[in-house]
Chain A
Amino acid sequence: MKNKDVIRLIESRRKLSSPGGLKKLEMEGGCGVVGLACNEKISGKHIMQSLIQMHNRGNSKGGGIAALGLNSSQCGVSQKILEEDYLIQVAYLDPSVRHQVEKEFIISNLDVHTSYPLPTLKDYRAVDGLDMKPPEVWRYFCRVKDKALSQFILKNNLDALERPKAEDEFIYQNTYKLNNKFYTSLGEKRAFVLSHGRNMIILKIVGYAEQLIEYYQIENLEAHIWVGHQRYPTKGKVWHPGGAHPFMGMNEALIHNGDFANYYSIAEYLSQRNIYPLFLTDTEVAVLLFDLLHRVYEYPLEYIIEAIAPTTERDFYLLPEEKRKIYRAIQTSHIHSSPDGPWFFIIGQTNIKQKSFQLLGITDTSMLRPQVFAFQENGVSIGLVASEKQAIDATLRSLHQEDKRFLPYADFYWNARGGSYTDGGAFIFTVKGKNLVITDKFGRRISVNKEHDCPPINISAGKSEDVDPAEKIKEFTKTIDQRWRIPIKDRACALSNTEEYLNEIFLSMSAQKQAENLYRYTDWEKIDSLSPPKSQKEVLVINCEKFPAEGSQSISRFIVEAYQLGWKNFITFNWRGQRFCGCGLGSESNDVRIDVFGSSGDYLASGLDGAEIVVHESAQDQIAQIMKSGKLVVYGDVGQTFMYGAKGGEVYVLGNAAGRPLINAVGAPRVVINGTCLDYLAESFMAGNPLEGGGFVILNGLKFSEKGEITELETPYPGGNLFSLASGGAIYIRDPFSKVEEGQLNGGRLIELTEKDWELILPYLEENERLFNIPVKRLLSPNGELRSFNQVYRKVEAVELKVLQKGHR
């Protein structure tokens, strides 16, 4: 679009009357978000399980979904109409206004090819827990009438504009007018447009998102892309779903977790371009901003992301010269309209021209909201993004039950590093034809070398009957723990299959007589009948599947109660994202051990004071907060704010930590992270002098290659703010090629290791070797040749900062 046309287009909106004022009425709270993109069409029911398992991220005050890339026969139209027509969905809060709305805004200007009300359950009360009747929704497949469009173009001097663009704008303005008249947050709320893009639908209700799926009977609706949202608005009374997510742009559906600090500034920016929010939430302004940059300014996706989440500080200077030039220009124009504060967006988008569908996840530059990306390829390709890993697993598990090509775990999971030079803080899944492609913000393809098969896993112990269950459990557990050492294409298979075998063993224990066995099985149905263990060695095997995620009946409380009965050994399996595992055991729990299989939840081991917890999968966010003593082993990654405010304990992590690990940790925590971290590692670390009993972190900077070999990461720590404002403790960073530089520090100092340092950390590396099979010798041989410890490890120590010194005010 030429500059002049942009101005004319924006000018054409001047006639749209502003609703007056930019007041933000709806307070956004937190939310649970999930999105998936698949090269095959997937039924709505599969996203349900993630939404159910993220109930505690919403509060029944808003749920919504969007589906993109639909099945034409399910929509009752031809493929041509599905692709070419606008698919307008109007929510009638007051069904009596439908004729008026249709007369004024639908029939008058649009050629309607098909229209019908969405089928629903007869009685909304049939949906468990749904208190409020969802709106009546009508769907219209239509195009703008030729004559009306010509008039519109003429009236607004848009003749230079491509006709389809003018048609888009017509639809946009038509919707605005409809909403302004029949909704507006200030007047009576009677009807509003849910979505108007092509080949996409949005639905939202007051309730939970999975109730929506049930009520509108879209369990079997197929789509390439799904996004789902559980809303948790701060305000209590909500009687209509206007404020629920997703919000639409033109062909986008956006969901959001977080809250902007600068709503007014963005709203002001938009109002200068004749764009006015009508639903008064920051999510709406976010999508309006996206639509402006995308459809009016026609920025490429990369520049849109830069305008929303600018690259700053050291990351900016690590960009190539060319990019810096462009980014600086973008920032100059857009920094005051870029959302400030904690936010995470998931956007589903249809691209008419490219005939593709896209799913985007974008994080704010400080990564203040939880976010996990995942990918699986096993004859069918699926990309997912959600607030929690367990929600991703939930959808995969649901798919697996129906179609064995899907596995209950993804091939890999990762986090975006917000506003970074490494990935730009955003990933895009593009479905085009039969392909699903993953790219980062810069358009770099994330390559996945995977063959399309899932070979059977060779487990030597087999399933033979005469093998002792303890031996079997040991063998299978080892297979799960060592899955990183096999080629990536087999990892998810190995994990899924082995877990299945293991679960079979556990479940078979329910039938066994207690007296004969060292194991006792229990589950949600049996909680009331638990008796004390017969011996100290007896292991309580808990099937966690049906336990609630929190509260007095939760699995974490059940473990505490069992512990109070005398149980010390726990094997817990079938975790479904329940929180607080290991919390509440208290300080005299030294002889307790908990093994965790499945998708564990947030806050695991937070407060741990003596016990040992072994997580055989990746863990989630806020793990081991205020941990005081004991041991935690994680055979995978850990999430955000890992060990925040920790006081002590030994922790071994096989993979990576996300943002802000060990912030404000004190005392003597001793931690080995074999991968890397995002930003802010050990900020305000205050853990004394490690050589005199204080705490430290060892960062090994390793990864497992696609073949399953131990290899060095490009850099052991890509981020900034390493050890910033720390006053005690140390980081021992494995950096044989001196990739970490002073600029990444903020107050700390890089120095050479002494013999004493090495004596201190060696036992921890040896334990790390024992647990993860990462030999100390391998650690000291970055290029295959053995080096001395101080040529491989570097120490970051605290320096006395002026602001932290005595008497500084």
Chain B
Amino acid sequence: MKSVEIRNCNSRFHKNIGKYTVSLKDSCFHCGLCVEICPYCVFDRIDGFNHVSTPNSAGCLGPDCKEGPYYCTTKCPVDAIKIELDPQWKTLGDFRWTPDLIITTWQQAETGEIPRGNLEYRIGASGGGFDVFDFTIDDVTAISSEEIDNIITSDKISTSICLNRRGEGPSIEIPVPWYGAGMSFGSISLPSILARAHSAKAWKTFTSTGEGGYPDELIPYSNHVITQIATGLFGVSEETIKRTPIIEFKYAQGAKPGLGGHLLGDKNTPGVAKMRETVPWNSLFSPFPFHSVYSVEDHKKHIDWVKTINPDALISVKVSTPSDVDMVAVGSYYAGANIIHLDGGYGGTGAAPEIAKKNIAMPIEYAITKVHKFLLEEGVREEIVLLASGGIRTAFDIAKSIVLGADGAIIGTSDLIALGCVRCGNCESGRGCPRGIATTDPELEKQIDPSWGAQRIINLYASWQKQLKLLLYKLGLKDIKELRGRTDFLKHIDEK
């Protein structure tokens, strides 16, 4: 994609968090050998200075480069370089978003490159879901760097998907098999929303409003912004329906099926309340169903309605994964949907009650396969786009969803990680996010500069596309569409 410009984009914090801390002992006499040999710029000596600067620990691969020619600790003549695990590393994340995953996502957001070293950037450590699947090929990075460069820069391998596979209506193609999930104004800050929208525009893909309304600042990006219609109908008007290429009906959220949206009082600031036209500081709950939709013929009527307002819009139907999700999907198809969006339970929403998180509905990897097969049996699979979301963290998660039967995926949390999220999990309460992402506090939200944030997400997507291209190359495929349903490429991690 030539229109996507990848630029180095450092963390907005002075000191990056990495897996290791590198320090120089007093015995160091600043010979500068380490500065010369380290290819990852951990060491630096500013021109005109005698002393080596404080090491940039985040760039260090740790003991992984022991075998290489540039392993600094053994080369140091006075044995002054000390490499330890960074105590902060351990405190990051959780089993799904491991410290390695978070750090490597940051790295990708900085550089737009596939992470180096042995940090695990493909899977987490949850012991289930996508973390127990692997591809039946060797590590994709184990080819020469020249070859890699050739593959990832060439256009011979396609990662694009079409979002309208029905015979009628506008054709919308996105160059990467994913777009951004709905995150409302209120759940995340306006600068974060703008960063996501800007990167969606750069990548010619999409992001979604969520159910908090459509801030005017998003209008310049309207060709890349999906208008979500959720059960609270907050901020939905004819204008927001008219200006979007895709309308997303949110029936349920995978993280809390059977529950409506939540926005707890503290985050309902006057700004948010104005956008949603509600009373500030009151918690907002959306009903769990659409009050106007209690059956599939109501659903069809709902779709016919927005089609009356905007006849050119594609329709996406977002549902969670109950045991009869296949029926829901096929019903949505017959009612005229272009996209079925399956939202599994691994994903996001800081505001979901603990009891609901991961305790209801079917794991996404089961749901994808179930729906894919059912649509095949019904003979309508080629008419509809099936997208998966809910805990899709990495390029490999995307690839795995496609292998299981989806056409592509929808990304939420990863965007936020790129913006510097540390997965502290305090999104829903108080003023919200200490890192200024999931907040509506006017002071905190200043932390994010939208153009900086956009570049971070652009870079992350670039790295992902490279990984997908490499993977396809390794599998002998030329197009991401060929990957769909090829479960023969996948093995359970326990399989030898």
Contact = CB atoms under 8 A, between A and B. Distances in A.
A728 B278 contact: yes
A232 B291 CA distance: 19
Interface in B319-375: 324, 327-328, 330-331, 333-334
B216 interface: no
B297 A727 contact: no
Interface string A574-587: 00000110011111
Contact of B380 (A29, A236, A644): A236
B266 A727 contact: no
A259 B295 contact: yes
B279 A584 contact: no
Interface in A543-561: 550-552, 554, 556-557, 560
B237 A666 contact: no
Contacts of A607: 237-238, 241, 305, 309
Contacts of A58: 297
A809 B284 CA distance: 12
B267 to A, nearest CB: 10
Nearest to B276: A666
Contacts of A552: 311
A583 B333 CA distance: 24
Nearest to A257: B295
A237 B375 CA distance: 11
A609 B292 contact: no
Given A666-B277, A804-B282, A27 B327 contact: yes
Given A551-B304, A583-B305, A59 B334 contact: yes
B286 interface: yes
Contacts of A602: 301
A288 interface: no
Contacts of A234: 296, 327-328, 330-331, 334
B301 A56 contact: yes
A647 B234 CA distance: 9
A488 to B, nearest CB: 32
A806 B266 contact: yes
Contacts of B276: 666, 686
A609 B282 contact: no
A127 to B, nearest CB: 22
Given A579-B305, A607-B241, A258 B264 contact: no
A668 B324 CA distance: 40
Interface string B460-491: 00000000000000000000000000000000
A645 interface: yes
Contacts of B310: 584
B301 A603 contact: yes
A56 B287 contact: no
A304 to B, nearest CB: 24
Nearest to A628: B237
Contact of A647 (B237, B284, B298, B308): B237
Interface in A586-633: 586-587, 602-603, 606-607, 609, 621-622, 625-626, 628
A15 to B, nearest CB: 34
B297 A805 contact: no
Contacts of A57: 297
Contacts of A541: none
A808 B297 contact: no
B304 A808 contact: no
Interface in B220-278: 231-234, 236-239, 241-242, 264-266, 276-278
A664 interface: yes
A626 B284 contact: no
A804 B265 contact: yes
Contacts of B298: 30
B295 A808 contact: no
Contact of A236 (B264, B279, B307, B378): B378
Contacts of A687: 277
A75 interface: no
A804 B283 contact: yes
B295 A29 contact: yes
Contacts of A626: 233, 236-238
B294 A666 contact: no
Interface string A246-260: 000000000001110
A585 B238 contact: yes
Interface string A228-267: 0000101111000000000000000000011100000000
B264 A808 contact: yes
Interface in A1-60: 27-32, 56-59
Contacts of A30: 294-299
Contacts of B284: 686
Query: Which of A552, A609, A725, A727 has the most chain B CB atoms inside 10 A of its CB?
Result: A727
A257 B297 CA distance: 10
A667 interface: yes
Interface residues of B, number: 52
A672 B305 CA distance: 26
Contact of A664 (B238, B287, B430): B287
B95 interface: no
Nearest to A366: B294
B294 A369 contact: yes
B264 A625 contact: no
B429 interface: yes
B304 A641 contact: no
A161 interface: no
Nearest to B295: A30
Query: Which of A369, A686, A807 has the most chain B CB atoms inside 10 A of its CB?
Result: A686
Contact of A806 (B231, B281, B304, B378): B281
A689 B282 CA distance: 13
B308 A728 contact: no
A755 to B, nearest CB: 23
B327 A645 contact: no
A663 B238 contact: no
A664 B291 contact: yes
A28 B236 CA distance: 30
B269 to A, nearest CB: 11
Contacts of A583: 238, 305, 308-309
Contacts of B294: 30, 258-259, 342, 368-369
Given A626-B238, A806-B264, 15 more contacts: A29-B296, A30-B296, A58-B297, A234-B330, A234-B331, A560-B308, A587-B238, A609-B238, A621-B292, A645-B233, A663-B291, A804-B282, A807-B264, A807-B430, A808-B265
- Top 7 nearest A-B pairs (CB, nearest first) are A645-B233, A30-B297, A30-B295, A806-B265, A667-B277, A29-B296, A234-B331
Interface of A: 27-32, 56-59, 232, 234-237, 257-259, 342, 368-369, 550-552, 554, 556-557, 560, 579-580, 583-587, 602-603, 606-607, 609, 621-622, 625-626, 628, 640-641, 644-645, 647-648, 660, 663-664, 666-668, 684, 686-689, 725, 727-728, 798, 800, 803-809
Interface of B: 231-234, 236-239, 241-242, 264-266, 276-279, 281-287, 291-292, 294-301, 304-305, 307-311, 324, 327-328, 330-331, 333-334, 378, 380, 429-430
21 contacts: A31-B297, A259-B294, A557-B308, A579-B301, A583-B238, A583-B305, A583-B308, A584-B309, A587-B239, A607-B237, A607-B305, A609-B239, A640-B292, A644-B233, A645-B236, A664-B233, A664-B287, A668-B277, A689-B279, A805-B265, A808-B283
